[in-house]
Amino acid sequence: MSVDSAYDHNISSLQDELNSLLDKQRQAYAAHPFAPLAQRQQWLKSLRQLLSAEREVLIDALSQDFSHRSPDETLFAELMPCLHSIDYTLKHLKRWMKPSARSVGMMFVPASAKVVYQPLGVVGIIVPWNYPLYLAIGPLVGALAAGNRVMLKLSEFTPATGRLLKDLLGRIFPEDMVTVVLGEADVAVAFSSLGFDHLLFTGSTHVGKQVMRAAAENLTPITLELGGKSPAIVSADVPLKDAAQRIAWGKTLNAGQTCIAPDYVLVPQDRVDGFVEAYRQAVHSFYPTLTDNPDYTAIINERQLARLERLQADATLKGARLVPLYEQGQGRRMPHTLVLQVSDDMQIMQDEIFGPLLPVVTYTHLDQALAYINARPRPLALYYFGYNKAEQQRVIQHTHSGGVSINETLLHVAIDDLPFGGVGHSGMGHYHGHEGFLTFSKAKGVLVKQRWNSSLMIYPPYGRQLVRLIQKLFIR
């Protein structure tokens, strides 16, 4: 067998295996197409108990995948939002599942109308490497709350976490209920081509286009959470210490490997030096040193580290001024660096950074900053720092982004009652909380009539006086 033939055989075998898993879940769903409230609550409670009981092994697996991942960051940025999401969903699920009564016009009485929230069936979830626990469990909670079966594809860049989640979820869910799929990029490609009833992908815009193209072959509805270059605006009068500290926290969490991390910061021209110093102080207050610092997370792998180093080299070559905040890193613990005097031809201003590099863009007045943002693809998040409420409202109304935080970074994603999702290049669709339940449900309109058929009045023949009277009354 030739190399090409062997590859084709392996791909065919992989596709058959994935189709078999999908078929098992479809058959299980067909046997029980509408899980009652008590069943869904039990699924979520079992999941919560599992995550809480296994927190230490989850922390260890994530740290192993990153070479070092701060245990506290895993607790705060992954485990805690998973648990809070489950608690919030359990609290509100009964109300979400209740059919929504709708009105019917006089023309249609006697009748009633309602919207029934029906499970879609089998949901596919493609999980990225940067927050593999939260970005697996978060959408899983929404899908289970809506009564679906779920297949999860974990990233090949977090193998320890993937293997652990496969084992842990296998303890509480049968394979025809929830299953974890592991493997390299070819598995992800095959996974995205399956005929799911809904597919959620979190990752880069480039890969998102490929996933959407594959899903289109099956007309699979899709939610894309993609990221992009999320800006932070420092106003002309906000105290620099306030802005710098909050931006630094959002940028340094997980070493900047966060889809809604501030990607670049817009600073008034006359405040740049002050911002640089305030930012340096903020970062050093979090991480006095990088060497053996248990709080500072490493870059996920050598490939991503090399990519970030290329961004620095390209920016330097094209005239940027780098301001490293530490003399050197340690292993894959990359030093946090400000990048000044940037220009649009630099790769760092074109690609999502996803690491501890923060370009500083200068502006002279707020309208110029808003124009700069609006001339670029719409980001997943936008941050504004300033206490003038009129300016806050102007930023909200005159920009497009997936979400906004005023005088804060990142935390809007943790508010369970807010939808989370991108717009344009940063994605489509929403999930989290009620919006997650709706995303993974079919809102099915239902009209109910009983024995008396009032529609007889508009049946043919149409020349009757009653028909003409109805036309006169209802068509004006």
Residues identified as active-site: 225
Residue 381 contacts residue 349 (beta carbons within 8 Å): no
Beta-carbon contacts of 147 under 8 Å, excluding residues fewer than 6 positions away, are 34, 35, 40, 118, 119, 441
Residue 196 contacts residue 122 (beta carbons within 8 Å): yes
CA angle centred on 468, ends 464 and 472, rounded to 5°:
170
The C-alpha R_g of the chain, in whole angstroms, comes to 26
- How many Cα neighbours within 13 Å face the side chain of 467? 8
Q: Which of 132, 122, 218, 133 is nearest to 179 (CA)?
A: 122
Copy the structure tokens of residue 123: 């949901």
Q: Which residue has the tokens 């023949």?
A: 461
Cα gap 103→95, rounded to integer Å: 19
Beta-carbon contacts of 235 under 8 Å, excluding residues fewer than 6 positions away, are 243, 268, 366, 384, 385, 386, 388, 391
Cα gap 135→125, rounded to integer Å: 9
Beta-carbon contacts of 387 under 8 Å, excluding residues fewer than 6 positions away, are 237, 238, 407
Copy the structure tokens of residue 228: 């992009």
Copy the structure tokens of residue 87: 């608690």
Residue 300 contacts residue 66 (beta carbons within 8 Å): yes
